[in-house]
Chain A
């Protein structure tokens, strides 16, 4: 059972079950806990090789026991995500914890990842359960539906879930080359049905100031 102790500390109550969490993110626990490093995020040899090949590396640990365990990472804001059979796409570095019953894997992101400077691959989490993702400042959750497609700055994108198609929009014109671009030259457009998490801050992207 995931709950937010504060916006920056995640508390997980466990009764003999297990969670996967980012390696080293435990800040406190009470009760009995066992920590075990999961090589390759607990995805087996194939997952390990995939992660190695795609550069989407993730060091996770498995925490199992009775009691409450608290997790935090560099005072990043934590957002809870509940999954009902759908799939969450998140950068490995932004994933704090997930129920052990959720399957994690590696997915292809295409130009979005490239424009963020995060590489072409991302981490997927799917199944039924809860996950916790981190953002710089509390994430705003935006619903995308057929009527309301959403456009996001790659630097502010944190995660998305549901059945979404993403397309990469480039507003680079001759004006950008003249230094009179709109400042938002690279955008990702989401269409379909689902949720997108954006953070109130922009990472440095290769698009930079364009």
Chain B
């Protein structure tokens, strides 16, 4: 961890002084590749030394890797595999980035907050829409707006501050009693809007585990990412899910949605 000397000029890094799989500063993470592979979210690489290739998830040579480590067709177009040797810097919108180690564990995280992970982890789509679950042993890198705070359940958290959770099997909604009472309560039940404090709705976690919170309520921009298959019993994919795309961010006129995203425009 190198610090920025305020008066003596900034620290200058080269491949020898850059850390290996650690933070350069609070906002930049350095990954060392040595013939190995890392999954990373598209566009989060800011620079690299050495020779590194970035291949889309659909790349034929990656078939085996995808079979073992990537189980999220919805997010396939957002992820790439970096291969080669050298040191690569990752960052995201000047958000705080941190790496975490999982040992034979599981962790569920908001899809926009996950920046990169080692292929020894398997990425799976969470049953909770918009979240991804990592299972196995290895290192991953996550971004958050402000430093991450770790909390022990039982706890109720603000939906916007939630980054993810590890080992807790019980993420559920919690509404304060006020949602039932009065005209405002009725309106709120109908529209999901309004209310007195804006804090009547929380996520509740119980049981053993860890809950990760960010110290602000700024979310990563949600990306429309298609929909889960419209099978019976699949959350978010139910009968009224329909095209799915529509459920994401409102589409601006002239946007082609899926097609446009596929072409990267």
Contact = CB atoms under 8 A, between A and B. Distances in A.
Interface of A: 3-4, 6-7, 77, 79-80, 82, 136-143, 145, 148-153, 155-156, 171, 175-185, 195-196, 198-202, 208-210
B54 A196 contact: no
Main secondary structure of the interface of A (DSSP, over half): loop
A201 B25 CA distance: 13
Interface in B38-79: 41-49, 52-59, 77
Given A137-B27, A180-B56, A208-B264, A200 B46 contact: yes
Nearest to B94: A137
B68 to A, nearest CB: 19
B91 A184 contact: no
Contacts, number: 140
B57 A201 contact: no
A88 B4 CA distance: 20
A153 B7 contact: no
A154 to B, nearest CB: 10
Nearest to B26: A138
A149 B53 CA distance: 15
Contacts of A136: 93-94
Given A180-B59, A182-B55, A200 B6 contact: no
Interface stretch (B9-17, B134-142, B158-166, B171-179): B9-17
B24 interface: yes
B56 A156 contact: no
B89 interface: yes
Interface string B248-265: 000000000000011111
19 contacts: A6-B6, A82-B9, A138-B4, A140-B47, A142-B49, A145-B14, A149-B49, A152-B46, A153-B46, A155-B46, A156-B46, A156-B47, A175-B56, A176-B264, A184-B42, A184-B45, A199-B46, A200-B25, A209-B264
B211 interface: no
Interface of B: 4, 6-7, 9-15, 24-25, 27-28, 41-49, 52-59, 77, 80, 89, 91-94, 97, 261-265
A170 B80 CA distance: 16
A209 B80 CA distance: 12
A198 B89 contact: yes
A200 B95 CA distance: 8
Most central of A155, A176, A177, A179 by chain B CB within 10 Å:
A179
Contacts of A148: 14-15, 49
A151 B48 contact: yes
Contacts of B44: 202
A149 B89 CA distance: 14
Given A142-B47, A151-B52, A156-B91, 11 more contacts: A137-B27, A137-B28, A137-B91, A139-B10, A142-B14, A151-B49, A175-B58, A176-B264, A179-B263, A183-B43, A200-B46
